[in-house]
Chains A and B, each alone.
Chain A
Amino acid sequence: MYGFLISIGVVLLIMVIGMVYRIQTLISVAKGSDKKIATTSNKTNAILFMVFLIGCGAWMVYYSVVEFDNYQLPIASEHGVVTDQLFWITMAVTGFIFILTHILLFWFSYHYQYKENKRAAFYPDNNKLEIIWTLVPAVVLTVLVISGWKAWSDITSPAPENAHVVEIMGYQFAWDVRYPGADQQLGDYDYRLTTATNSRGIDFTDKNSFDDFPSQNVVIPKGEPVLFNIRARDVLHSVFAPHMRLKMDAVPGMPTRFWFTPNKTTEEMRAELGDEEFEFEIACTEICGAGHFSMRKVIKVVEPEEYRKWFAEQTPFIKSNPDLVADLPVELKELAEIYINEE
């Protein structure tokens, strides 16, 4: 009953507003003021542009400063320092232009609002001005492009020989990690060999695979180059490690890679942020299905000694699951047995 009464009230209110509005329109038509251009509305709109400029401009500056530590993720890789620097240089340049052009846009709107006795300037062109504001952006952009290009070629250059290789394979909806073992060589794989026990489709007829081992997390040493070999098993995925400023798509049928040098251990980052729970994470940034938002993997960055110790302690696939090599030819199997029986 109350709902009914309230809705009647609302309807009546809207009708009253509508009537008042209609009457005002009729009055303005009767007075002939609807033909006028320099109306209160024109002035109000002009003023609102200034209000918007000052109000929202101040809000933006305030929020950007106060929230800085919140939205600026800490950096944990060497190239991340470079790309972030580029980001903030670009921000300075574009931020300046953003503020300048907006001040002009809204100031002009306010200042040159319609006046009865005024006439606009007839100013159709000025080639000198056009050339200036073609060349200046061109030069500024060239500088930005060249610095970006340099960073990009460094980042995408071939990984150093001594880079620690980690294979990351995306599938719906998780990541599988594989390390090459003591020989530093990842064994071949073929997607047709994928089974429940061999989820990565590793080809165990390749000797290099004998010492390959899986890992729950991505473990990498601080200060040494790391190469991610990235692939996907079903659909596109994308490896995104936000703190490392790292992103590369995982494409079925086309292995990709990304190398980088982490420059902070997880422990160091925890101390820096005062957050004991902190972990570096990998997320997926290429839409891949219902679980797209849940493909989390933890990256543990540790000191090099700790890394080597950890690396030596890992158990190869075939050791924890000897069935994987059960069907191999005799000579290969003998070789595999060595790994399996190794202590």
Chain B
Amino acid sequence: MAVANVSAHDAASTHDEHDHEHHDNFITKYIFSTDHKMIAKQYLVSGIFWAFIGGFLSVLFRLQLGFPDMDMSFLRPILGGWIDASGKLDPTFYLALVTMHGTIMVFFVLTAGLSGTFSNFLIPLQIGARDMASGFMNMLSYWFFFISGVIMFASLFLEKGPAGGGWVVYPPLSALEQAIPGSGLGMTLWLTAMVFFIASSLMGGINYISTVINLRTKGMSFSRLPLTIWAFFLTAVIGLLSFPVLFSAALLLVFDRSFGTSFYLSDIYIGGEALPNTGGSAVLYQHLFWFLGHPEVYIVLLPALGITSEVIATNSRKPIFGYKAMIISMLGITILSFVVWAHHMFVSGMNPFLGSIFMFLTLIIAVPSAVKVFNYLTTLWRGNLRFTPGMLFSIGLVSFFISGGLTGIFLGNSAIDIQLHDTYFVVAHFHLVMGAASFFGMLAGVYHWFPKMFGRMMDDKLGYVHFWLTFVGVYLVFFPMHYIGIAGFPRRYYSWTNFSFADMYTDLNMFVSVAAIVTFFAQFIFVFNFFYSMYKGRKASANPWQSNTLEWTTPVEPGHGNWPGEIPTVYRWPYDYSKPGSEADFIPQTVPLSATPESNLPHEAKLVQLEKEIMEEDEAMLVGNESKES
């Protein structure tokens, strides 16, 4: 920590800090950057790009579902042969659309776009570090993700289409090209892209974990970490433990596809011939996949919850209620997320006894989630709420988290799940609880930290319009799906008219499609606001939201190394908002307790003496260093 000991008074060394920034050229600054802030922005822009691709794919299949009789010839310029001579969407391509929509949204947008952006951006800034533990590995992490994206993007243009076996790519469907055309080259590219993606996630995760453990500034104990950092930290732990399992699942699938092994394949007669594979188990893949797949839900959700905690506390001008309970519930979620995976497989044919076990474990995980919701509500209670766009999106997140979380109680109950499994009820459930909720967390984060990223403010009013269109839109899209699901409509269906039980609700499906399209186009308001404000937005002040956390003590646009001069020391937790006795309604983490005798709580008053001793020691050490240097 040599850098940290450099004195703030020493003008010469401060100048040094700035000096080597001048060596940055375009490539090292914007492309192969090792600066965590630039990498975060790269992730963010990539995430936005992918969100539009993923959203656009969903508009395409919503057109099919809402308007099954529509002549889609006008889409031929982009979809080409996937629209047949009579103007109908190809059913195989429909499956490819839902597959790619899922893959893109889950992995590229809500994992890389969310964790990648905010873990990178906020971890060093909020714990008081100059950069990530390994800037180079961080850069590699982004570029592995980029390669993964290029490969996945390329697969969209294959003649036989991209992977089409659902985002879960269950074998044997995903292993046999005879079963569906997308399982040919499309699936190969899917698997290749995922391997790069997993490598990227692991490098990112290792960095996040080691940075949080090792590079916290003086005084930043774990019990003073903002909840955002706790969330990113635990997310990285989950990712580090579960992504390798997905890697192994993918690897075995590669073997089955290309090298004639039978890990997942057994007793298959397809395309007029009996395959030689015997002894494999298709259910094994499902176990391996969901061992990642379920923790993945929390990988996308926890960062969003962390961001929300921070944004809600700041804009309620209140401490987050139950800081410790929030951490404990996140720890609980982290641990339990590894032991609930088989609730995706109640009717997969696995031993029903396992179903009982996983039902118990699954419903336990609802408890910490409930605690978090109640804590959010209590944080709002008797607050002084400022509805910044970030705050609106955070409140929206809490609403989605409740709505989607409660339906999880149905699905986690194996007896009820028999009927609901793989119906639109499930689609409604996870789109609300992990899709829309995480997406809102991401948007809340963008609106809240935009001033720190680009030194300018996003436009509030456009943010409000964006929020209300999206919030209402999301509910109009996903709430009706509950009814459709209770009525038994299976998911991943190209059309429902073959079945008399599902030959209804054409009006409701049309409604959902219209809502989805409007919501999709409302996102362009955001994109405009984002890029316009980047160059033309109002100049931000150093601490526009009057927040306590460390990132707001940096210059408006922090340079390389984040703080010119010394990294500030932290003296208190990040949630001293509206503290009784204090003049201002917020006390940043860098303000010593000894400076605020009027607002110290009894136990803090005792800490003041300790704090003074430490500060004196520091001073002595600094003086010593200076005299040595001169």
Q: Is the CB of B166 within 8 A of A287?
A: yes
In whole Å, how far is B355's beta carbon from the nearest beta carbon of chain A? 6
Q: Check A42 for interface membership: any CB of B closer than 8 A.
A: yes
Q: Check A58 for interface membership: any CB of B closer than 8 A.
A: no
Contact surface of A with B, Cβ cutoff 8 Å: 21, 25, 29, 34, 37, 41-42, 44-46, 48-49, 52, 56, 60, 63-64, 67, 70-73, 80, 82-84, 86-87, 90-91, 93-94, 97-98, 101-102, 104-105, 108-109, 112-115, 118-126, 129-130, 133-134, 137-138, 141-142, 144-145, 148-149, 151-153, 155-156, 171-172, 191-192, 194, 201, 233-236, 238, 240, 242-243, 245-249, 251-254, 256, 277-279, 281, 283-294, 296
Q: Is the CB of A105 within 8 A of B282?
A: no
A236-B398 contact in complex given A120-B578, A247-B347, A293-B91, C-beta closer than 8 Å: no
Q: Check B602 for interface membership: any CB of A closer than 8 A.
A: no
Q: Which of B16-24, B40-48, B406-414, B547-555 contacts A (4 or more CB under 8 A)?
A: B406-414
Q: Is the CB of A236 within 8 A of B282?
A: yes
- Which residues of chain A are within 8 angstroms of B402 by Cβ–Cβ distance? 97-98, 101-102, 105
Q: Is the CB of A145 within 8 A of B413?
A: yes
Q: Is the CB of A141 within 8 A of B363?
A: yes
- Which residues of chain B are within 8 angstroms of A126 by Cβ–Cβ distance? 321-322
- Which residues of chain B are within 8 angstroms of A83 by Cβ–Cβ distance? 415-416, 418-419
Q: Is the CB of B385 within 8 A of A112?
A: yes
Q: Is the CB of B364 within 8 A of A141?
A: yes
Partner pick for B500 among A138, A142, A279, CB 8 A cutoff: A279
- Which residues of chain A are within 8 angstroms of B579 by Cβ–Cβ distance? 122
- Which residues of chain A are within 8 angstroms of B267 by Cβ–Cβ distance? 191, 252-253
Q: Is the CB of A90 within 8 A of B413?
A: yes
**In the bound complex, CA of A155 to CA of B493 (Å):** 28
- Which residues of chain A are within 8 angstroms of B414 by Cβ–Cβ distance? 148-149, 152
A246-B483 contact in complex given A94-B410, A254-B283, A293-B495, C-beta closer than 8 Å: no
Q: Is the CB of B319 within 8 A of A124?
A: yes
Q: Check B486 for interface membership: any CB of A closer than 8 A.
A: yes
**In the bound complex, CA of A144 to CA of B318 (Å):** 35
**In the bound complex, CA of A98 to CA of B479 (Å):** 13
Contact surface of B with A, Cβ cutoff 8 Å: 91-92, 95, 165-166, 170, 172-173, 176, 179-180, 265-270, 274, 278-283, 316-325, 347-349, 352, 355-356, 359-360, 363-364, 366-367, 370-371, 373-375, 377-378, 380-387, 392, 395, 398-399, 402-403, 406-407, 409-410, 413-416, 418-419, 421-423, 459-461, 464, 468, 471-472, 475, 479, 483-484, 486-488, 490-496, 498-502, 504-505, 538, 575, 577-580, 585
Q: Is the CB of A87 within 8 A of B492?
A: no
Q: Is the CB of A290 within 8 A of B409?
A: no
**In the bound complex, CA of A155 to CA of B414 (Å):** 10
Q: Is the CB of B479 within 8 A of A90?
A: no
Q: Is the CB of B415 within 8 A of A46?
A: no
In whole Å, how far is A137's beta carbon from the nearest beta carbon of chain B? 4
Would you list 20 pairs from A and B whose C-beta atoms are within 8 A, ordered by A residue?
A73-B488, A90-B416, A105-B398, A120-B317, A124-B323, A138-B367, A148-B414, A148-B415, A149-B359, A172-B270, A235-B173, A235-B268, A235-B270, A240-B490, A248-B349, A254-B283, A283-B502, A292-B95, A292-B493, A293-B490
